[in-house]
Every structure is written in C-alpha cells, then in structure tokens.
C-alpha cells in the first residue's frame, strides 16, 4: 500500500480528537481537517486565552471547546495529544481507560510525511543541531523541512513534503510519550542530562522516554549517539538500528567503539569523519562561527547524522562553517558602554546554563531563574564561583537560587527583565558580559522561551537607546 493510501485510510473519514490548541494541536487539527477527517479540539484554556488559535480553527470549520474537557472527546476514534498536555491528566486517563488510542502530534504527522526523516532529540543542543543539519542538507541541494520544536510543527508541513524531500525534526521528550510507529531514517540523541524531571518523575523514566525515538527503527535505519554522554551507553540501549557514535577520539577508543562505529570524532582540535574506510578531515574546531565546547559537540552530532544520511564531506564542511547560530542561543544582542549583552533564553535547564557560562569569556552578570524543573541550583556552584560577579534571580525559583548560590556570589531578586538587566548594567564594567541563561522553564512569567528572549532583547535595546542619549548629552556638556 502506498504512503498516500495509508494516510488516507488512517485519517480521512475518521473522528479525530485533538487535546490542546497550542502550535502543535492547531497544526494537527488543521492537517486532519485538510485530509478529510471530522476533527474536534478540546482545550482547558479559557476562550479568551485560546485567542487567535480558536478563531483559526473556527474559520477552518473545526469544532472546538474551551474551558475544560467534556466527554465529547471520548467519542473520538483516536486522539492526538499536544506536548503541553500531561500524560497523567484526568482526560488522558479517561481515554486510556476506555481504550481510545492516544498519539502524539509527532506520530500523527509522521503518517503523512512521504519524504525521508532525520529526528533530533536530547536534553541540550537540539535546536542548534537540527538547524546545523538543515544547513548541511541544503548545501547538498536537498529540499528540507526544518520542523518540530524548531520552526513550524511537523503537522504544519508534513503533507507538503515530497518523496525526495527531507524532514529535519526537533523532538522533545514530551512528544515521544505517545509515539507508536514513529520511525526516523536517522535518529540522533545529542545528550541526556537531568531535565523535565518534574514531569517524567525520575531520570530513569526521562531517559527511557528519550530512547523511544529509536523504538520503531529497523536494521535499515541509523541511531547516532554521543559517546561523551554517560546515559547513552550503547550496552544498555535496545535498538535494531545501526548505531554510530561521535565524540573525542580517546573516549571512543576507551569505550571500545570500533572504527566502523565511529562516525565523527575530535582529535587535537580537528574534527574528522569516517567515510567508508576513509578518515576525512572536516574542519578545525576554531573554524566554527559559534562559540563554546558544546557547539563543537553539536557540530559533530550534526555531521554524524549527515554522514549517516550519505552527505558528502564537502557539504558537511560547507554547511557547518556557514552556520551563524540560532536565535535565543548565546545570541549577541547589543553592547552598552563596553558591556556585552547575550541572550541565551533557550537554556531551560542547568546543564545548558553551565555550557553557556563555559562559552562566555570574562566576568559575567547572570540573569537566572523561572520555573524550575526539579534540579538543584547548587550544581551551578563551581561554574559561578570566580566568574559570575552578581546574579539577578527571576520568577518562581528565585528563593531556591538565593539559598543555593547566595554564599558563592551576591544574589538579588528581580521583578522584571528590565529590572534585572538595568541592575546588572549598574554593576558591570567595560569588557564584562550580561548573560540571560535562566536554567529554567519560562512558563511562570512568559508563554515560552522565545517570548522571554524577546523581552530581554527589547529591554536591552531600550536601555541601549537611553545610554546613547546619556553619552551624547555628556559629550555636549564636555
């Protein structure tokens, strides 16, 4: 049966429920409607909070309810769940008790995709790595669709991907909770460190959820793993896919990974790839335009996935060396009186904040906090000591930050992004950096990390204008 016939059979004429009308839920609902399904969307948000999404769905002829989940959704043949809806919510338990299948938006979109797929997950570096892969594939003249957690939802483009196209999908652990037959040609796990423990309950469960990315892969597919991440020990991973590794050459050798399993490796500051039986120099780490050891790992991850996909060394080199970075990830915003302002809003766990501090030269004023994920802020102690001169703590976790780090460096509470940034500017001198790297989710104050990053940039540019006026006035007086 052709893929187009399979998608028609699974969707057209079916009664499909959709839980949540955020970006993923909205895209899934519109895709189902487009392919001839009877779609019903249910969201716990109020009509006012649902806003534009509700209007879009109504305009498309999709029935909706807001303010809670009634039993109407229990009449569905199956339900597509948005990543923001918890697996242990009451409505999901009801659906499971009556035997109604529940699928993630990721799974739903994959039924429709007729092209090939590279899927990227991990605790940190997903967006950067997926975007790097997109750059590499474009250098090889592939028609790519960057989607999932980056760009548009997978459901927003799946029906438009041709058989010779490639979906590069950034995948979160939430999206992997309800996959069934999701099968990437190449699956990549950048790393696994503590994250989302408040949802998954334990590191063991979080790791197992991440590994669902390979659960339906076959011998024809490839799983790419980071040898430097202890949680990705191949001996404890069940997969039928061919397994390739990236990392430092000495680590690969120490861990007993044979030449055939070494995709890309770092040796004496140079990144190499194993193409067949030939070791090829790709580039020196110093040639990357993005800073930090974590970005060297991201580049090796992207190169490994591309190598597994059959991309040439020249395209891997060209794609990676042209990559300028992604918004909200160690993004330079502006400079005020010699102080650099860096937006790393995408750092939503403490490991990401540690990487950001390691990648930032010189003294740092740090904006930290938000909605914590069950991690202990004390793990930042070594990274903060001697480097961070002052912390402005934001959001729900500010007291925890003070308790964990207040004896290492001064910690003050901020009630807004502008307050935090303004105070750090008062405390910083030329040559220093103010870094927004919150180490937390944004949902206590913002809708997402993008909105948080935008707030930082808006405050930065506003303060830069004031500083410019002040400097001009000073010059006139002198």
Paired sense of beta strands 262-267 and 270-275, if any: antiparallel
Note the pLDDT of residue 194.
59
Note the pLDDT of residue 88.
84
Q: Per residue in 448-473, pLDDT tens?
A: 999 999 999 999 999 999 876 455 44
Note the pLDDT of residue 7.
60
174: nearest Cα among 140, 212, 220: 212
What distance in Å separates the CA atoms of residue 370 and residue 449, rounded to the nearest whole number?
10
- Non-local (6+) Cβ contacts of 366 within 8 A are 357, 384, 388, 390, 391, 392, 434, 435, 437
C-beta of residue 231 within 8 angstroms of C-beta of residue 237: no
CATH topology of domain 106-321: 3.40.1190
Does residue 173 sit in helix, strand or coil?
A: helix
Number of Cα atoms under 13 Å in the Cβ half of residue 187? 27
Q: At the fourth CATH level, which superfamily is domain 15-100?
A: NAD(P)-binding Rossmann-like Domain (3.40.50.720)
Note the pLDDT of residue 247.
94
What distance in Å separates the CA atoms of residue 306 and residue 321, rounded to the nearest whole number?
14
Note the pLDDT of residue 229.
86
Q: Per residue in 30-53, pLDDT tens?
A: 999 999 999 999 999 888 888 889
Number of Cα atoms under 13 Å in the Cβ half of residue 137? 25
CATH of 331-469, one of 3.30.1330.30, 1.10.630.10, 3.90.190.20, 3.40.50.2020: 3.90.190.20
Q: What is the DSSP-derived secondary structure letter of residue 440?
A: S
Domain coordinates in residue numbering, the chain: 15-100, 106-321, 331-469
Q: How far apart are the first and last CA of the chain?
A: 81
Tokens of 431: 């040559």
What are the residue ranges in the chain where pLDDT is below 50? Answer: 1-3, 200, 469, 472-478
């Amino acid at each position: 049966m052709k893929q187009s016939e399979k998608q028609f059979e699974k969707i057209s004429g079916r009664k499909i429920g959709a839980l949540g009308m955020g970006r993923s839920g909205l895209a899934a609902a519109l895709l189902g409607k487009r392919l001839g399904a009877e779609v019903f969307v249910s969201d716990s948000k109020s009509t006012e909070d649902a806003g534009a999404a509700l209007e879009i769905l109504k305009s498309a002829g999709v029935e909706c309810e807001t303010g809670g989940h009634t039993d109407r959704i229990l009449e569905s043949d199956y339900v597509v769940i948005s990543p923001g809806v918890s697996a242990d919510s009451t409505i999901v338990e009801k659906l499971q008790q009556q035997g109604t299948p529940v699928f993630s938006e990721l799974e739903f979109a994959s039924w429709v995709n007729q092209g090939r797929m590279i899927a990227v997950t991990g605790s940190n570096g997903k967006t950067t790595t997926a975007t790097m892969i997109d750059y590499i594939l474009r250098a090889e003249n592939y028609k790519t669709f960057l989607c999932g957690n980056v760009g548009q939802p997978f459901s927003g483009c799946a029906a438009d991907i041709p058989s010779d196209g490639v979906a590069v999908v950034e995948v979160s652990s939430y999206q992997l909770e309800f996959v069934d037959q999701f099968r990437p040609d190449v699956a990549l796990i950048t790393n696994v460190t503590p994250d989302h423990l408040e949802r998954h309950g334990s590191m063991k469960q979080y790791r197992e959820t991440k590994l669902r990315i390979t659960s339906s892969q076959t011998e024809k597919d490839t799983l790419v793993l980071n040898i430097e991440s202890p949680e990705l020990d191949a001996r404890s991973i069940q997969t039928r896919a061919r397994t390739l590794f990236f990392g430092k050459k000495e680590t690969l050798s120490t861990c007993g990974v044979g030449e055939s399993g070494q995709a890309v490796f770092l040796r004496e500051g140079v990144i190499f790839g194993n193409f067949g039986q030939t070791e090829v120099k790709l580039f020196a780490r110093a040639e990357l335009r993005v800073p930090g050891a974590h970005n060297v790992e991201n580049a090796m991850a992207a190169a490994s996935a591309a190598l597994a996909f059959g991309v040439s060394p020249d395209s891997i080199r060209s794609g990676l060396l042209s990559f300028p970075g992604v918004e909200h990830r160690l993004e330079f915003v502006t400079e005020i009186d010699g102080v650099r302002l860096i937006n790393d809003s995408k750092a939503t766990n403490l490991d990401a904040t540690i990487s950001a501090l390691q990648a930032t030269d010189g003294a740092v004023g740090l904006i930290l906090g938000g909605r914590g994920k069950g991690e202990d802020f004390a793990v930042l102690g070594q990274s903060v000591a001697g480097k961070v001169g002052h912390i402005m703590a934001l959001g729900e976790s500010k007291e925890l930050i003070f308790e964990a780090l207040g004896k290492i460096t001064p910690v003050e509470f901020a009630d807004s992004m502008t307050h935090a940034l303004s105070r750090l500017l008062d405390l910083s001198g030329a040559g220093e950096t103010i870094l927004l790297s919150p180490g937390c989710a944004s949902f206590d104050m913002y809708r997402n990390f993008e909105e948080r990053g935008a707030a930082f940039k808006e405050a930065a540019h506003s303060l830069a204008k004031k500083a410019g006026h002040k400097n001009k006035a000073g010059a006139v007086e002198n």
